[in-house]
Structure 1
Amino acid sequence: MKKIISLALACIMVLSLAACSAEKVNSADPKSRANNETAEILTIAISKDENSLSPFTYLSSTGLIVNRLVYDTLFTTDLDNEIIPWMVEDDYRVENDFSTYTFTLLKGQKFHDGTVVTSEDVVFSFTYPGTQKSSSLRKICNKIKDIKAVDERTVTINLKSSDINFLRSGLSAMRIISKNQYENAADATLISETIGSGMYKLSEYKVGEYYKLEAVADYFRGTPKVKAINMPIIGDNTAIQQGLLSGQLAAATSNIGVEMVETFNKAQGIEVFSSAGFAPLIMNINNSRAPMDAKEFRTALTYAIDVNGIMKTLYGEYATVGTKGLIRPDLPYSVTGLEYSYSPGKANEILDGAGFDKKNANGIRLTPDGQACSFEILVYSGNTTRIRTAEMIAEQLKAVGIEMKIKVMEMDTVDAFVWPDFDVTKGRDYDFAMWGWGTSIGTNLDFLVSLFSGDLGIGTSNVCGYTNSEFDQIIASEFSTAKTTEELYSALRKLQNVIAEDPGMVNFGYDDGLQACNTTQYSGWKAGKGTNVINIHSFLGK
């Protein structure tokens, strides 16, 4: 059951928050790691300001990574990406065809204000988010028929319908919050104090500058091996790399580029950790805007873009190329034979046949109603990889008569066009966008459902505005009622086949997580499948 289950300013900040520099020794020498299994202070760069790090205020997957150090979840994943109980005892029960979940909290758990974590806090944690803006958290709450505290430590959750994936998508995702802190707050984003029950508490936060985390000495799972973590906010990758190479940074929440691997491998006292990536690099297509609302037009794009070539150029050997099925191809439920095929000739053939056969004086195709196939692709200004990807896409689409203008904007501005208020029910205002999702969505069994369900209460990540009646029917008739792993996998394979024939986006693939860590300052770093080294397992150290 459980198995199913600015550069100068940035550098100044690094120096001001850094722990004492470690002596340089070769990281390849095992002796260099032998006596560094604990640390007083580590300085770890965080790539952007993630507000107060609460479950209701962080902005991106980076914030989610750090948030997990501060807030616990009932279940979690190990380094093999298997679901394991975390806050609960091992004898939890899953009954009634995966619709009833009963568990008992382990003893000794406290919030950072000293109050005890009780079953009432758990009940509140799975109901209160349903009243808030976060669509992903509301989605979890909306699955629940009823939840009750049996006693001070035991909770029973009854779902509206069977959900074989709830251990991962619900119980491993929802952060446990203090009822006492939030119960009178109509808007959770206005709560400024960060109080979780995790192994680290937020001791200081200076907007735009840094975070400071302090280990919880009596944490119920054991005392963290690093007593304090200073996290300067550094948005410049060059500054982060310089800080790592100089020893002023022990690690960073962000990955290093493939082009830097050799440099870091040669550096003394630094080890590059590689892990299978589950965060997809995507080109979003606004399916609700013409001519992108035409299946034939979107299909032609999948032939006009050299997905394999782009991934090879970007990441070399450190990536897994995506497929038209959108699921990472080495997962057990992925469908084979859905690889992207680069064929500008095929793209031209499809476009001609779909009425895009005329061109203007500039060689740009015209839509059947005479509009030029000239579009914008939105890209985050701070993401050089996505900018480079957009440049290659634009060059390849030009060859088939489609003009793609790259519009580089701040992250928050792009998000406001693609995902206003992070609520897909508010629509979208873009043509194309270079995008990505965090590791959690790439490892989740309802990845496709969340991205493409026409029911936006289910398709809470459907930023493309995709609709397909066959896709939705499979969700309702097979995915939602699956009672065994094989039934669930069967439904997922059917969903992949639908999305391959009627593409809603282009998934270029998954780059490996490459993180440079100083092993002379600390040797407990751990990377796993889809796991950033800044994780609970790195710092608990069991």
Structure 2
Amino acid sequence: MLNRRSFLVSTAATAVFAGSARLAFAAPSDGVLTVAMIGEPPTLDVMQTTTDLVMTIDQHIFETLYTYDAEWKTVPLLAAAQPVISDDGLTYTIALREGVKFHNGAVMTSDDVVASLRRWLDLATKGKQVAAFVESLEADGPNTVVFRLNAHYSPLIATLCSGSVILPATTLADPLTEFVGTGPYVLKERRPDQYIQMVRFDDYASPEGAPSNYAGQREAIAREIRFVPVPDANTRVEGLLSGQFDFADSLPVSAYDRLSGSDKSAPVIFENAGWVSMNMNMKQGLMTSKALRQAVQLALNPTDMMMAAFDADMFYSVDGSIFPKGFFWHTEAGIARYGEGDAEGAAKMLAEAGYDGTPLRLMTSRQYEFHYKISEVAKAYLEAAGFKIDLQVVDWATLTTRRADPDLWDIFVTHSNFPGDPSTINTLSDNYPGWYVSEQKAEAVAAYMNATTDEAKFTAWERIQTAIYDDVPLYKVGNFNALAGVAKGVAGYEPTYWPHFWNVSPKE
């Protein structure tokens, strides 16, 4: 069973957290929640990019057929139930909840779902990955859709949990010009670099059940949510401490003591929020050399990088396994060249690979300050091994745009959550920036797709992790706990990887 723990550290924060269960049934409020985010999203079309910033904002407007509960199991959201799977494992029949309305007043039907999912299959990175397995996707009456696959694809439902949002068929366009969903909040106004304003959707049809991570009852308690781009982390901290913001995301861990001692705010820690990785460009440039990628592995010191980024070990852990201890998928299989940094050994590998001194372009952003600090330490270790490093510091929107062009970078720093299904890790997609394509990956992933039991899936996952360490499409730095902050008087907030604000009451 997957274990995902979240907790609040401090007496005041615990008090904020404690009322969440009963607040699922709280009366609507006329209050406003002002949420400080790390920057301006590059788009509100989540099919174009599933970056955390876009996912966090969009989940209030749009919904998917399935979502994750507290154990990171897939559960219905717009679907009425788990799929009915044929005996041969190739046909998935999905019943839809009836009477769900879009923000424009239209009732969701299977035609909307099919049109939306076809767009996702054509456009989204993960959708393209799924598309290779889809023989057909059709409506079967107004409230049922049917996937027919050409081969087994065990993570299909897990993949439908993010990015595959359901839109009215009449609003589909590329690019989107109307942002109409089924979620608890309606997009009212977007002023770039100022705010994104959402208001309560009075006709929202909530799923049933107790709130559990992203699953269960969703109540739009706040009349309005304003997502405000605040690229500077210290400005987010000061705004929270002054009472300007009700929630501030992705705060530097150095702010923990100030938040704990404040009479207006409290710190929120989310354990094992995710993992940091350095992703390699395997399509063009220096990192097309497997030997050079392995030299990068050997040169780096994950402990020093994580300590520089997070200051104290209460905020991070160093673990070569892609999934941390306590998760079903944790394994030591295949871990190699993950240690305390071997400059001499890495230098020898550079010489053997014929490295000619071409600068390695390391792209990072200061909007996630821990990305930047990790990059600084990585630069020092890589230079000690003999690499020449061109550290390129850009804003996050620029990084997510530039990483799509293989001509512009060699390594970029990012972070990810721990998905419910390991095959949905971004890097395993042939189309994700980095363009990881190899025979051993393909064979390991194929074994996973054909697995029908948890035991067989785990064995296949061990092969995938082994391939990742050998091919080096990425370097896992470590696991991190996320720090955010919430204003005192705000009730019902529960930490989740993509912070959400349904079931949350504004301060009076």
Residue by residue, what CA displacement relative to the aligned partner does 1:46-75 show, whole Å, maximum 9, x if unpaired? 332225623346673211111011001111
Within 5 Å, give how 1:188-227 maps onto structure 2: 188-189=174-175, 191-221=176-206, 223-227=219-223
SS of residue matched to 1:472: helix
2:508 counterpart of 1:526: no
Q: Which residue of 1 aligns with 2:414?
A: 436
CA distance in 2: counterparts of 1:208 and 1:344, whole angstroms: 40
Q: State whether residues 222 and 504 of structure 2, in contact with CA within 8 Å, keep that contact through their aligned partners in structure 1.
A: no
Within 5 Å, give how 1:410-489 maps onto structure 2: 410-420=395-405, 427-433=406-412, 435-439=413-417, 442-447=419-424, 450-452=426-428, 458-461=429-432, 463-476=433-446, 478-489=447-458
CA distance in 2: counterparts of 1:172 and 1:416, whole angstroms: 20
CA distance in 2: counterparts of 1:290 and 1:125, whole angstroms: 36
Within 5 Å, give how 1:11-410 maps onto structure 2: 27=12, 30=15, 39=29, 40-50=31-41, 53-56=44-47, 60-90=51-81, 92-132=83-123, 134-171=124-161, 173-182=163-172, 185=173, 188-189=174-175, 191-221=176-206, 223-252=219-248, 254-289=249-284, 291-315=286-310, 316=312, 317-323=314-320, 325-336=321-332, 338=335, 341-342=338-339, 344-345=341-342, 347-349=343-345, 351-352=347-348, 354=349, 356=351, 368=354, 371-372=356-357, 374-410=359-395
Residue by residue, what CA displacement relative to the aligned partner does 1:95-152 show, whole Å, maximum 9, x if unpaired? 33543222322233100000000111111111133444x3333334443222222222
The answer for unaligned runs of 5 or more in structure 1 is 4-25, 358-366, 421-426, 453-457
User: How far is 1:257 from its partner?
Assistant: 1.4
Q: State whether residues 52 and 192 of structure 1, in contact with CA within 8 Å, keep that contact through their aligned partners in structure 2.
A: no
Alpha-carbon spacing, 1:157–1:30, altered in 2? closer, same or farther (3 Å): same
Residue by residue, what CA displacement relative to the aligned partner does 1:17-62 show, whole Å, maximum 9, x if unpaired? xxxxxxxxx8368499769856422111233222562334667321
CA distance in 1: counterparts of 2:246 and 2:445, whole angstroms: 45
CA distance in 1: counterparts of 2:401 and 2:92, whole angstroms: 37
CA distance in 1: counterparts of 2:138 and 2:87, whole angstroms: 17
Q: State whether residues 279 and 436 of structure 1, in contact with CA within 8 Å, keep that contact through their aligned partners in structure 2.
A: no
User: How far is 1:168 from its partner?
Assistant: 0.9
Q: State whether residues 76 and 84 of structure 1, in contact with CA within 8 Å, keep that contact through their aligned partners in structure 2.
A: yes
User: How far is 1:373 from its partner?
Assistant: 5.4
CA distance in 2: counterparts of 1:296 and 1:101, whole angstroms: 43
TM-score by length of 2: 0.84
2:469 counterpart of 1:500: yes
Alpha-carbon spacing, 1:258–1:141, altered in 2? closer, same or farther (3 Å): same
Q: State whether residues 280 and 437 of structure 1, in contact with CA within 8 Å, keep that contact through their aligned partners in structure 2.
A: yes
Alpha-carbon spacing, 1:235–1:122, altered in 2? closer, same or farther (3 Å): same
Q: State whether residues 67 and 76 of structure 2, in contact with CA within 8 Å, keep that contact through their aligned partners in structure 1.
A: yes
Residue by residue, what CA displacement relative to the aligned partner does 1:311-354 show, whole Å, maximum 9, x if unpaired? 1232222123241x534454322322637643555x523543x4
Q: State whether residues 51 and 59 of structure 1, in contact with CA within 8 Å, keep that contact through their aligned partners in structure 2.
A: no
CA distance in 1: counterparts of 2:62 and 2:505, whole angstroms: 14
Alpha-carbon spacing, 1:532–1:334, altered in 2? closer, same or farther (3 Å): same
Q: State whether residues 13 and 268 of structure 2, in contact with CA within 8 Å, keep that contact through their aligned partners in structure 1.
A: no
Q: State whether residues 220 and 503 of structure 2, in contact with CA within 8 Å, keep that contact through their aligned partners in structure 1.
A: no
User: How far is 1:171 from its partner?
Assistant: 5.0
Q: State whether residues 200 and 215 of structure 1, in contact with CA within 8 Å, keep that contact through their aligned partners in structure 2.
A: yes
CA distance in 1: counterparts of 2:94 and 2:222, whole angstroms: 30
Letter in 1 for 2:475: V
Stretch of structure 1 that moved more, 257-266 or 220-229: 220-229
User: How far is 1:302 from its partner?
Assistant: 1.9
Alpha-carbon spacing, 1:82–1:272, altered in 2? closer, same or farther (3 Å): farther
User: How far is 1:443 from its partner?
Assistant: 4.4
CA distance in 2: counterparts of 1:405 and 1:387, whole angstroms: 13
TM-score by length of 1: 0.79
SS of residue matched to 1:49: coil
CA distance in 1: counterparts of 2:283 and 2:325, whole angstroms: 28
Alpha-carbon spacing, 1:80–1:539, altered in 2? closer, same or farther (3 Å): farther
Letter in 1 for 2:104: D
Alpha-carbon spacing, 1:165–1:59, altered in 2? closer, same or farther (3 Å): closer
Q: State whether residues 328 and 334 of structure 1, in contact with CA within 8 Å, keep that contact through their aligned partners in structure 2.
A: yes
CA distance in 2: counterparts of 1:146 and 1:287, whole angstroms: 32
Alpha-carbon spacing, 1:229–1:377, altered in 2? closer, same or farther (3 Å): same
Alpha-carbon spacing, 1:397–1:92, altered in 2? closer, same or farther (3 Å): closer
User: How far is 1:81 from its partner?
Assistant: 2.0
Q: Percent identity?
A: 17
Stretch of structure 1 that moved more, 463-472 or 490-499: 463-472
Find the structure with the greater CA-based Rg. 1
CA distance in 2: counterparts of 1:351 and 1:123, whole angstroms: 53
SS of residue matched to 1:136: helix
The answer for unaligned runs of 5 or more in structure 2 is 3-10, 207-217
Aligned pairs, number: 478
Alpha-carbon spacing, 1:91–1:459, altered in 2? closer, same or farther (3 Å): closer
Q: CA RMSD in A?
A: 3.1
Stretch of structure 1 that moved more, 155-164 or 191-200: 155-164
